[in-house]
Amino acid sequence: AQTVTQSQPEMSVQEAETVTLSCTYDTSESDYYLFWYKQPPSRQMILVIRQEAYKQQNATENRFSVNFQKAAKSFSLKISDSQLGDAAMYFCAYRSVLSGTYKYIFGTGTRLKVLA
């Protein structure tokens, strides 16, 4: 069974600085998707960025980028030029491609605090 681990329960970053959130996962599959979702306080989760395992190039979305290390099963999220609105819970999620299931497997989350 696949598992997702986020080892940082909480992180803090100064406004305008850069922060990296860690995520590792375990799977025996070769093809899958990885996601980072943001959950602001009392608001719904929204997708931040996705990565397809068969693509070696790291995904980027504006200030958000990932460092995808397939062999190491690592998928970290880098937030550049942090803004107050980035404060939220961040969840890393895995989705199988081959097994026929479309469910997400989530990590336990990292709470990001942005300091003014």
Partner 1 sequence: DTGVSQNPRHKITKRGQNVTFRCDPISEHNRLYWYRQTLGQGPEFLTYFQNEAQLEKSRLLSDRFSAERPKGSFSTLEIQRTEQGDSAMYLCASNSLKGTGGNEQFFGPGTRLTVL
Q: How many residues at the interface with partner 1, by CB under 8 A?
A: 24
Considering only residues 42 to 71 of the shown chain, the ones binding partner 1 according to CB under 8 A are 43-47, 50, 52
Hey, what amino acid is at 10? E
CB of 24: closest distance to partner 1 in angstroms? 14
**Long-range pairs for 44-48 at CB < 8 Å and ≥24 separation?**
45/91, 48/77, 48/90
Q: How far is CA 25 from the centre of its chain?
A: 11
Residue 100: CB minimum distance to partner 1, A: 9
Give the binding site for partner 1 (CB under 8 A).
Answer: 4, 6, 33, 35, 37, 43-47, 50, 52, 91, 93, 95, 101-109
